[in-house]
Amino acid sequence: MIIFGSRASNLGSVTITNTQCSYCENTGTQNIVQYGRYFHVFWIPVFPIGRKTFSECTHCKRTISKKDFGVELMHVFNEKKDKIKRPLWHWIGLLLFGLLVIWIAVVSKIS
């Protein structure tokens, strides 16, 4: 029995200081948060399959999906999105599989 599926992990967040929440109208209370989804086998991440980005107000806890970002929020996100990187461990299963294939190839050449 092989257990597989997908999971998500927090890739990071960026605090936005100069935008206003569209719901509670507080300034400087928004964070842009990004989650990364990955495919796993036996809970070992194999490869990434997508990202989910949204803005969250720390005051009223309202979240806004990336597709609903306003012009100002999208501009700030495009400036700061380089600070959020996907971790290397999202690819660890693919790396282990590649090493296994190489090891089998080397062992079969020696024998």
Q: What are the structure tokens assigned to 16, written together?
A: 């936005």
| Helix, strand, coil tally for the chain in percent (to 5) | 35, 40, 25
CA–CA dist 25, 29 (Å, integer): 9
Tens digits of residue pLDDT in 15-56:
888 777 878 888 878 888 999 999 998 888 988 999 999 988
Q: Which residues contact 55 (CB under 8 A, 6 or more apart)?
A: 16, 30, 31, 32, 33, 63, 64, 66, 69, 73, 77
Q: What are the structure tokens assigned to 10, written together?
A: 């927090």
pLDDT confidence of residue 100: 92
CA 102 to chain centre: 29
Output 111 or 7, whichever has higher pLDDT. Answer: 7
- pTM for the model stands at 0.75
Tens digits of residue pLDDT in 54-108:
988 888 888 889 898 888 888 888 888 888 888 888 888 889 999 999 999 999 8
β-pairing, 30-41 vs 63-65, is: unpaired
